């Protein structure tokens, strides 16, 4: 009897382990459908319909399913949009999806909301849009349908062009409002950085995602560029699983090399090569049983 009590005491003092699956479907570029428990979130997924081959785009069938909000894009709870660029956001597609799924909530920067405002259907959908642009180096938190969302202001990566008047090099993306999302569903933390600038150490030091225990980080592939960005990744994000995104489809070699380099530090690195492929990631959670 004494032995039995001892065994029970040991069991109760040890943390129990539970596993939760997270299904991640790659749409294109930085667009994903995330499914955890009964929640569905689309991030940067409703885009397409433009020329250019610098990124993957949803094909006509996927685009139509996204607009009609049919399986697997039915009953989406949240549409998160990092910024207004056309390889992340298409206002018409977002409006069509919402008309077919009026229960979902949109979270986006104010600049992105301004583009939606120019559509005649805006009055119909404005109540389900949460437009937030935190100030530089600031963040804010929301709870929507039992999903916790931390919104981080992250500088858009730089892109230099020559100013026609002055001849000086200027950062074309300087005024783009880009936000990152830390999404928590049922204890699983997922980080999506949008088109963040991975060299902006100050931001990652301030937000210190390392403290939050990031289970899955969806990262702009520029994070793999050099030792400085990898140090930022190690010190301030330190995710358990990494999905790299934002590759030029023609640059398969760069993709292969990036993964190989990263695997020296992180064993759980994934890159999707085809739209609508998915991956189930098991997240082991420790449950305190005091
Ligand atoms: Zn962008």
Centre of ligand 1 to C-alpha 78, Å, is 20
Phi, psi of 232 (to 5 degrees): -60, -45
Tell whether the model's pLDDT for residue 267 goes beyond 90. Answer: no
Centre of ligand 1 to C-alpha 1, Å, is 65
Centre of ligand 1 to C-alpha 288, Å, is 41
Tell whether the model's pLDDT for residue 15 goes beyond 90. Answer: no
Centre of ligand 1 to C-alpha 173, Å, is 8
Residue 14: the pLDDT is 46
Residue 75: the pLDDT is 98
Tell whether the model's pLDDT for residue 137 goes beyond 90. Answer: yes
Q: Give the C-alpha separation, 216 to 239, whole Å.
A: 6
Q: Give the C-alpha separation, 36 to 102, whole Å.
A: 21
Residue 2: the pLDDT is 54
Question: CA Rg, the chain, in Å?
Answer: 20
Centre of ligand 1 to C-alpha 56, Å, is 14
Q: Give the C-alpha separation, 21 to 24, whole Å.
A: 10
Instruction: Choose between 150 and 249: higher pLDDT.
Output: 150
**CA dist list (Å): 266 to 195, 262, 283:** 21, 6, 16
Phi, psi of 26 (to 5 degrees): -85, 125
Residue 9: the pLDDT is 46
Tell whether the model's pLDDT for residue 67 goes beyond 50. Answer: yes
Centre of ligand 1 to C-alpha 2, Å, is 64
Residue 12: the pLDDT is 45
Q: Are strands 78-80 and 129-131 parallel, antiparallel or unpaired?
A: unpaired
Instruction: Choose between 268 and 288: higher pLDDT.
Output: 268
Q: Give the C-alpha separation, 189 to 187, whole Å.
A: 6
**CA dist list (Å): 131 to 105, 114, 124, 245:** 11, 9, 16, 24
Centre of ligand 1 to C-alpha 156, Å, is 7
Centre of ligand 1 to C-alpha 255, Å, is 19
Centre of ligand 1 to C-alpha 180, Å, is 12
Average pLDDT of the residues of the chain: 90
Phi, psi of 30 (to 5 degrees): -110, 20
The pTM score is 0.90
Centre of ligand 1 to C-alpha 222, Å, is 13
Centre of ligand 1 to C-alpha 47, Å, is 12
Centre of ligand 1 to C-alpha 26, Å, is 18
Cβ atoms 77, 144 nearer than 8 A: yes
- Could you state, in order of their start, the residue ranges of all structural domains in the chain? 20-274
Q: Does domain 20-274 have CATH number 3.40.50.1970?
A: no
Centre of ligand 1 to C-alpha 85, Å, is 5
Indicate the SS3 state at residue 99.
Answer: helix
Q: Give the C-alpha separation, 209 to 164, whole Å.
A: 40
Tell whether the model's pLDDT for residue 183 goes beyond 90. Answer: yes
């Amino acid at each position: 009897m004494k032995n039995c009590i001892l065994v029970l005491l040991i069991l109760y003092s040890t943390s129990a382990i539970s596993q939760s699956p997270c299904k991640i479907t790659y749409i294109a570029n930085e667009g994903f459908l995330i499914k955890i428990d009964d929640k569905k979130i689309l991030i940067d997924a409703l885009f397409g319909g433009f020329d250019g081959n610098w990124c993957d785009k949803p094909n006509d069938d996927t685009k139509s399913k996204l607009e009609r909000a049919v399986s697997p894009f039915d009953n989406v709870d949240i549409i998160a949009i990092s910024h207004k660029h056309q390889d992340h956001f298409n206002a018409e597609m977002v409006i069509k999806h919402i008309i077919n799924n009026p229960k979902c909530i949109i979270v986006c920067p104010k600049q992105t909301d301004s583009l939606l405002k120019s559509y005649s259907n805006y009055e119909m959908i404005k109540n389900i849009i949460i437009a937030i642009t935190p100030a530089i180096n600031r963040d804010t938190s929301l709870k929507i349908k039992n999903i916790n969302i931390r919104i981080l202001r992250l500088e858009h990566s730089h892109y230099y062009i020559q100013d026609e008047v002055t001849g000086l090099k200027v950062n074309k993306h300087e005024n783009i409002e880009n936000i990152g999302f830390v999404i928590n569903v049922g204890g699983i933390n997922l980080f999506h950085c949008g088109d963040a600038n991975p060299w902006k150490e100050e931001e990652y030091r301030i937000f210190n995602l390392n403290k939050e225990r990031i289970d899955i980080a969806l990262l702009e592939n520029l994070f793999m560029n050099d030792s400085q960005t990898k140090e930022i990744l190690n010190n301030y994000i330190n995710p358990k699983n990494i999905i790299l995104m934002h590759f030029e489809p023609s640059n398969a070699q760069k993709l292969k090399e990036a993964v190989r380099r990263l695997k020296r530090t992180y064993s759980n690195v994934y890159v999707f090569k085809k739209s609508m492929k998915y991956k189930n990631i098991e997240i082991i959670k420790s449950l305190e049983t005091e």
